[in-house]
Amino acid sequence: MILARNLTQRYSLSIPTVASRADPADEPVAEGTSGGSRRAPVLTVLDGVDLEVGEGEVVVILGPSGSGKTTLLGLLAGLDRPSAGEVALAGVALADLDEEGRAALRADRVGFIFQSFHLIPTLTALENVLVPLELLDRDRAPSPAQAEATARGLLERVGLGDRLDHHPAQLSGGEQQRVGIARAFANQPAVLFADEPTGNLDRKTGEEIINLLFELNEQHGTTLVIVTHDLELSRRAHRIIHLAGGQVERIEVLGTCTGGGSGEAPRSGAGGEG
Ligand SMILES: Nc1ncnc2c1ncn2[C@@H]1O[C@H](COP(=O)(O)OP(=O)(O)O)[C@@H](O)[C@H]1O
Ligand SMILES: [Mg+2]
């Protein structure tokens, strides 16, 4: 489902100054080139990450704050482009796609739960969840009535049936996170990326959300790639990828993925129950 090779992300830490903006003749800041007297320091966040995630697999990414977890998710999902290396998502090499192509692939195949929610502030909860349904290709697009029923159902599933018409600013952090989760489910993605999806939730709500994620995995064979510090969640994964120093430090195998896309085969319990 996902194949990443030598993924590298560097950030140039230059802060554009008023002067450099005002003078286009000012030499551009280039990474690692010589000659400039004000060369920008470069921060290497990911440094040659190789990763393979199978169809229907549940993978947790663990690592200290600042270790590049969010950066890695963004690259795997085609939200950002790497400085070097490559990603193939659902059999498509992301480097071969332009911005529009990547957006189309995401609309069709990818769900993303953002750490910082990324809801559209001018839209209600219901309208936010409708967005991915409206972006679906004509052959997958539901009727407006079906789309609304789906969005309502998802918001009810995350316990927000009575907040449909609230705007993000009128919702608590945990409620916004749940709207983001409902939105990520809306297009029935083949692969769902979740960046600390229970980070703003109380224990009970967090458990409900985790169950919802695994339901999606079991019923639809959705591949899950989850950044989390939640032990409850990570012990149910097939594998835990430990990130450190911009690299994959080690991989813990907790269970085997039965694979397939039909989602008919029940997953073997990883880590046991109770
Ligand atoms: N756009 C950016 N420009 C410069 N540095 C960045 C940018 N995005 C992230 N970083 C830096 O990259 C490192 C990894 O960030 P991130 O992927 O968000 O880490 P994590 O999610 O593991 O906490 C951090 O040190 C952060 O400050
Ligand atoms: Mg992060």
**Strand pairing category for 42-53 and 58-62:** unpaired
Q: What's the pLDDT score for residue 274?
A: 32
Q: Which domain holds residue 155?
A: 54-80+102-253
pLDDT along the chain (274 residues), means of 10: 98 71 46 54 96 97 96 97 97 96 97 96 98 94 97 96 98 96 97 96 92 93 95 93 96 82 40 36
Closest atom of ligand 1 to CA, residue 13: 4
198 assigned to some structural domain: yes
Residues with beta carbon inside 6 Å of ligand 1? 11, 43, 45, 63, 65-71
Answer yes or no: are the C-beta atoms of 90 and 81 closer than 8 Å. no
112 assigned to some structural domain: yes
Distance 252 CA to ligand 2 centre (A): 20
162 assigned to some structural domain: yes
90 assigned to some structural domain: no
Q: What's the pLDDT score for residue 16?
A: 65
Q: What's the pLDDT score for residue 42?
A: 93
Question: pTM for the full model?
Answer: 0.87
Answer yes or no: are the C-beta atoms of 58 and 191 closer than 8 Å. no
Kindly report the CATH number assigned to the domain that includes residue 226.
Answer: 3.40.50.300
Helix axes 173-185, 144-157, angle to 10 degrees: 130
Given the structure tokens 């109380």, which residue do they identify? Answer: 202
96 assigned to some structural domain: no
Q: Ligand 1: which residue has its CA nearest to atom 26?
A: 66
Q: What's the pLDDT score for residue 18?
A: 61
Q: Ligand 1: which residue has its CA nearest to atom 24?
A: 66
Q: Which of 264, 254, 248, 263 is nearest to 85 (CA)?
A: 248
Q: Locate 110 and state its tokens.
A: 């990818």
**Strand pairing category for 239-244 and 58-62:** parallel
62 assigned to some structural domain: yes
Distance 115 CA to ligand 2 centre (A): 7
User: Cβ atoms within 10 A of the Cβ of 4, count?
Assistant: 22
The count of residues in the chain is 274
Q: Which of 233, 200, 222 is nearest to 119 (CA)?
A: 200
28 assigned to some structural domain: no
Q: Ligand 1: which residue has its CA nearest to atom 20?
A: 66
What percentage of residues in the chain have a pLDDT greater than 70? 85
Three-class DSSP category at 3: strand
CA 268 → CA 24, 58, 61, 233, distances in Å?
59, 12, 20, 15
One-character DSSP codes across 21-77: HH-TTSPPP-TT-SS-TTPPPEEEEEEEEEEEE-TT-EEEEE--TTSSHHHHHHHHT
The residues, any chain, with a CB within 8 Å of residue 129's CB and separated by 6 or more, are: 151, 154, 155, 179, 182, 183, 186
Give the total number of structural domains in the chain.
1
129 assigned to some structural domain: yes
Answer yes or no: are the C-beta atoms of 44 and 246 closer than 8 Å. yes
pLDDT digits (tens, 9 = 90+) for 223-233: 999 999 998 89
* Backbone phi and psi for residue 47, each to the nearest 5 degrees, phi listed first: -135, 75
Q: What's the pLDDT score for residue 28?
A: 45
Q: Locate 267 and state its tokens.
A: 């997953």
The CA distance from 94 to 109, in Å, is: 13
